[in-house]
Amino acid sequence: MLTRRAPRARSAGERPVESPAAVRRIAALLRRGTFNVVLTGAGVSTESGLPDFRSNAGLWRGIDPARVASLSAFHRDPQAFYAFYQTRLAALAGAAPNAAHRAIAGLEALGAVHLVVTQNVDGLHQRAGSRDVVEVHGNLREARCAGCGSLRPIAEMAGPLRSGTLPRCAACGGLLRPNVVLFEELLPAAAYDRAASACGTCRVLLVVGSSLAVYPVAGLPALAARRGASLVIVNREPTPLDGQAEVVVRDDAGAALSRIADEVASEPN
């Protein structure tokens, strides 16, 4: 189930690393790692024009997610629920992969990243060329029937909504909803189990654009660190796990990852 925790502030003596040396250090870790995982959050997609959730301009500013993005909201007030997701789908229709998505796909092509675990539901990693992506919060490419559970293209939900009618499953007549994890729902077991297994066995976990405030996914970096992985965090704001990270870079995802990918590509095998 999705739960949130306030981020821990860094103490006065802590300093994030922001330098060419940090980029070289991260690149060296990725080159040496035999199984490296990237964990991404909403901060990766903000540079594509998609809002995050908790910043001053985020989706939850002035909105109670329990009223528009929970299982209860879907059953209690489907009009408000669908209006919220129509807004999200409209924003996604105009979005394209940005430098961060392309850099992660580039690192994968170089053999420096072996799996992408994402909290995002926008599909931009796949569109950028990433081949192995675990979507722990579901996706907005598909609709799911609340009755029979069948999956359909998201257009089968979006089309009726644009016409002012509720979207119904052609097989059973149940309401269609986005195939995403709503508040009050558990994460899909297969996706989360694969993500947890990967984080528990990886050599490097590169966390990008996540506040690490939404559980259970926020617990994966601590799991990786306990199992001996090198933890690297790239985020514009502090996270609760910064104190456990080997390297912390405070920068935009696109700029930081582009430098890291360039450094990995320039190093000898």
Domain residue extents for the chain: 16-50+97-137+188-269, 55-94+142-180
**Tokens, residue 194:** 């694969």
Task: Return the active site residues.
Answer: 137
**What confidence score (pLDDT) does residue 13 get?**
38
Q: Is the model's pLDDT at 17 over the cut of 50? A: no
Q: Is the model's pLDDT at 7 over the cut of 50? A: no
Q: How far, in Å, CA of 90 to CA of 232, rounded?
A: 33
Q: Is the peptide bond before 216 cis (omega within 30 degrees of 0)?
A: yes
Say if residues 153 and 142 touch (Cβ distance below 8 Å). yes
* Collapsed DSSP state (helix, strand, coil) of residue 244: helix
Q: Is the model's pLDDT at 80 over the cut of 50? A: yes
Report the alpha-carbon angle 181-182-188, nearest 5.
25
Q: Indicate if 55-94+142-180 has the same CATH topology as 16-50+97-137+188-269.
A: no
Q: How far, in Å, CA of 26 to CA of 260, rounded?
A: 7
Q: Report the percent of the chain where pLDDT is more than 90.
A: 85
Say if residues 128 and 97 touch (Cβ distance below 8 Å). yes
Say if residues 199 and 218 touch (Cβ distance below 8 Å). no
| Mean pLDDT rounded to a whole number for the chain | 92
The CATH class given to the 55-94+142-180 domain equals: alpha beta
* Kind and range of the H or E run holding 134: strand 133-135
Tell me which residue has tokens 């909201």.
Answer: 73
Say if residues 123 and 141 touch (Cβ distance below 8 Å). yes
CATH node for 16-50+97-137+188-269: 3.40.50.1220
